[in-house]
Amino acid sequence: MFRILAILFALFLGFLVLFLPFAKLENWESKGELRICLGTEPKTLDPAIATGVLAIQYIQSLQEGLITYDPKDLTKPIAGLAEKWEVSKDGKTYRFFLRKNARWSNGEPLTAWDFYYSWKRILDLEVDCEYVYMLYYIRNSKKYNYQQMAKLGLRKWKETDEKEKGEILENSVSKGLFRELAPKLEELGRKEKNPKIRKRLMELARQAAQKPKALSFERVGVHVESPHILVVQLESKTPYILDIFGFPTLYPVPIKAVRKYGGNWTKVNHILSCGAYLLEKWIPHYIIVLKKNPYYYNAKAVKLRQIVCFSIDKPTTALNYYETGVLDFLDKSVIPGDFVESLLSRPDFIRSSSFGTSFLRFNVTKPPFDDPRVRKAFTMAINRKEIINALRGGEMASRVLVPPILDYPEYQPQGLPYNPEKAKKLLKEAWANKKEIPKITFLSSSGGAKSKDIFLVLRNQWKNVLGVEVEPKFQEWQVYLDSLSNKKYNIAFGAWIGDYGDPMTFLDMWTSGNGNNRTGWRNPEYDQMIQRAGEILEHKKRMKLLGKAEKTILEDHCIIAPLYFRASYFMKKDYVKGFRPNVMGRILLKYLWVQKK
């Protein structure tokens, strides 16, 4: 069977080369020292806004944080814009010494104030930052951010309907109460016509009157000791905090450019970089060109002067470009899933383990998945072995969300098993008449490798076990992300790659209001578990609590259905050097170089 697939694959490539010639490349495109394809194109290049893997990959080339990663081991934090740091005895205060030669790409010095204002920009809600919780490790940042959300919610009060008013009160105002809000809440309560909302406003006004005054940003644990010394105070000692300091959300942004150009500061003619590369050219839906940044503090170590990044949404096109010499490197997202099995034996096909999981989200805000019995029914009707057989790329079936790490599996739940009979029973309890079940759609990105095959397997399983039809909805990546955020779906295929080596990176995203939650699920008890897990220092006690939290989302409430642990794979020409596969999936272009072709 494998020989047949290999022969068909070779014939297919030959067909592409002969009959699907691509347009002649421009001179500057063909002369790019390295030509790669990481996927379609990033939704944003603003570190505060980026959430997708693709956007983060680009941002890690254009910008940098206090911390970066070792070129020989991309899971090991090393000095970035901060050349060194000191840690207090209790592990709660970090004193970062910024490099004196750290500069923006226009030659202006990069200072501790750039970090200060960049983090303040996020906490002040000047941008819609879904990763804002990455800053909550900093003392008083969460409380300050919640108070800003409460203020913003009340400023929008006149523009909102009754449903939105209820959401504002419970999701923003109640969490960010402070004394100065009391008169405003009382005033709104007297004017409010809806008796239920009026009652809640008055309750919150009384509560606010008993709270302390609003926090000023000066009480948040980030302080500028001098232009090149940044002091950060944490809520509690955090074992993985260096990975947090190295995460793109905490990168500095050029505040002058942001204030001058607003949301357009990331455009080619406006963007300033502090990373290894500059944004030289961006032709939407076609190409992004990166140029070496002469002001980068370690510019001497950056060997490539120009990298041409093709934006391609069809994996077969990307593979065609690679096979015909146009591209030197392909990311997994643009390698056709149908050919992975045939590519496995090739020396230029690189496969590695990944700290990532693919899963299904359920929209819990509307029928039928507002009922946990329905969510459990659909989960227990999934035979993951059939999905793995369809993928054939080294993935591992899983009923849990967090991949194996440290000794956490000892405390981890089992997840809901494949149990067709139980699934039928649960669905019948929730919907005795299947004909009354609302139309169900399955949302996925159109560019995802094998996502359509995964859907076909799931659709057949749900049809055979539950007798329910599910319709597909495949969308371009950016539209897909918007649909997720606005909860315009029933079931959505998704994935998560850990941001740091701890179970928390998979579990804190399901807290109430978290920008990456996108299910509509809120649970104060779960929020408290996650908060306590971030404060506990005793390892076993902390792992046990995290295991309980994972059980809550998988077995008790079943807001997601894990499918498999992901596998990473890439294709690169032999002359591309410096690439280091790693479980975190990091691709730092500044470490790549090209041997003479």
Quick check: 148 pLDDT over 80? yes
Query: What pLDDT sits at residue 443?
Result: 97
Taking residues 298-317, what's their average pLDDT? 95
Question: Which of the four pLDDT bands, split at 50, 70 and 90, describes residue 93?
Answer: very high
2-60+262-348+573-594 against 351-568: fold identical: no
Quick check: 301 pLDDT over 90? yes
Query: What pLDDT sits at residue 565?
Result: 95
| Phi-psi region at 415: left, alpha or beta (left = phi > 0; alpha = psi -120 to 50) | left
Average model confidence (pLDDT) across the chain? 92
Query: What pLDDT sits at residue 257?
Result: 96
pLDDT in tens, 347-365: 999 998 889 999 999 999 9
Question: Which of the four pLDDT bands, split at 50, 70 and 90, describes residue 182?
Answer: very high
Across 156-170, 187-201, 536-550, least confident range: 156-170
Instruction: Give the Cα separation of 152 and 126 in Å (integer).
Output: 11
- 289: tokens are 């060109």
Quick check: 274 pLDDT over 50? yes
Unique residue bearing structure tokens 């002649």: 24
- Looking from the CA of 198 toward its CB, the CA atoms found within 13 Å total 6
Closest by alpha carbon to 278, among 38, 43, 104, 110? 104
Closest by alpha carbon to 64, among 200, 248, 225? 248
pLDDT in tens, 240-272: 999 999 999 999 999 999 999 999 999 999 999
Peptide bond into 368 cis (omega under 30): yes
Query: What pLDDT sits at residue 29?
Result: 55
Judged on CB neighbours under 10 Å (0-12, 13-18, 19+), 465 is buried
**Edge-to-edge order in the sheet of strand 82-87:** 82-87, 93-98, 229-233, 222-226
Across 106-110, 170-174, 391-395, least confident range: 391-395
What single-letter amino acid sits at 231?
V
Task: Identify each DSSP E strand in 190-337 by its residue range.
Answer: 222-226, 229-233, 277-283, 287-292, 306-311, 329-330
Taking residues 516-526, what's their average pLDDT? 95
Quick check: 283 pLDDT over 60? yes
Quick check: 236 pLDDT over 70? yes
Quick check: 73 pLDDT over 60? yes
Across 188-192, 294-298, 322-326, 448-452, least confident range: 448-452
159 secondary structure, DSSP code: G
Query: What pLDDT sits at residue 18?
Result: 39
Question: Which of the four pLDDT bands, split at 50, 70 and 90, describes residue 10?
Answer: very low
C-alpha dihedral sign at 255, 256, 259, 263: negative
Helix and strand tally (H, E) in the chain? 20, 19
Quick check: 474 pLDDT over 50? yes
- Choosing among 3.40.50.720, 3.10.105.10, 3.50.50.60, 3.30.300.30, the CATH entry for 351-568 is 3.10.105.10
Query: What pLDDT sits at residue 6?
Result: 47
pLDDT in tens, 14-54: 444 434 434 445 555 555 699 999 999 999 999 999 988 89
Instruction: Give the Cα separation of 224 and 234 in Å (integer).
Output: 15
| Cβ neighbours of 51 (radius 10 Å) | 19
Specify the long-range contacts of residues 423-429, CB closer than 8 Å, at least 24 apart. 423/376, 423/377, 423/378, 423/379, 423/380, 423/381, 423/465, 423/466, 424/377, 424/465, 424/466, 426/373, 426/374, 426/376, 426/377, 426/380, 427/373, 427/374, 427/377, 427/466, 427/468, 429/373
Question: Which of the four pLDDT bands, split at 50, 70 and 90, describes residue 341?
Answer: confident
- Looking only at the bridges linking them, the beta strands covering 593-594 and 576-577 are antiparallel
Query: What pLDDT sits at residue 405?
Result: 85
Q: Which helix (H) or strand (E) holds 113?
A: helix 112-123
Domain boundaries, the chain: 2-60+262-348+573-594, 141-209, 351-568
What CATH number should be reported for the domain whose range is 2-60+262-348+573-594?
Answer: 3.40.190.10
